[in-house]
Amino acid sequence: NQDATVYVGDLDPKVNEAILWELFLQAGPVVNVHIPRDKLTKEHMSYGFVEFQSEVDADYAIKIMNMIKLYGKPIRVNKASRDKQTHDVGANLFVGNLDPEVDEKQLYDTFRVFGVLIAAPKIMRDPQTNNSRGFGFINFDSFEAADAAIDALNGQYICNRPISVSYAFKKDSKTERHGSMAERILAAGNPHRLS
C-alpha cells in the first residue's frame, strides 16, 4: 500500500530491517520493511521503506520519526510516493552563526514551517570530533518557502545566538548565489514541484 508506506533515508550502515521494524513499531503496526541492497556487496544504499497497516500510522511516523538520530545520524522520513518527485530547484539556504548545541532536528523543526524540505538539514561538522562548525544548509522545494524563511529567521535567535540566513553560494562558485532570477524562472516551469 503506497499511501501507507514511508521512505526512510540517510541510514547508517549498521541499520538493518529488524532495527527499522522495532523503531517504527512505536508509530503503529508495521506490515513490511524493505531495505534495498547492493547485489554484490550486500550493503544497503542508506535508505529503505516501511509499510504500515494504515495511512494514518504512516503520517504519524513522519511526524514523530523524521530527523531522530539512529547511530548518531538524523534519519529522513517522508511519504514514499513523494520522495520520487522531489526536485532540487536551487532554493538552497546557508544558515550561519549556529550555536554548537543546535542539531539537525532543531533546524528541521525551525525551517519546516515555511515549506517542504527536499533533504534533511545539513550541519557541517568536524570529521574527527563530529562537533558543529557553526553553519549548515537547508534545501526547500520552492523559492517562496526559502524567501519566507529568510525574511522571518535572518537575525532571529536560536540558543541565544542570532543566526544568519541567506541563499547559499552555488557549488564551484565563490560569487554566484542560489535564488537568481534564472533559477526562479526554471523552477516556475518545473512539473515535479511538490504542492
In this predicted model, what pLDDT tens digit does every residue of 119-147 receive, in sequence order?
A: 778 899 988 888 999 999 999 888 999 99
pLDDT at 82 over 90: no
Average pLDDT over the chain reads: 86
pLDDT tier, 85 (very low <50, low <70, confident <90, very high otherwise): very low
| H/E element, 165 | strand 164-167
Chain centroid to CA 110: 12
Residues 89/183, Cβ–Cβ less than 8 Å: yes
Chain centroid to CA 151: 21
Cα gap 125→123, rounded to integer Å: 6
Q: What is the pTM of this model?
A: 0.62
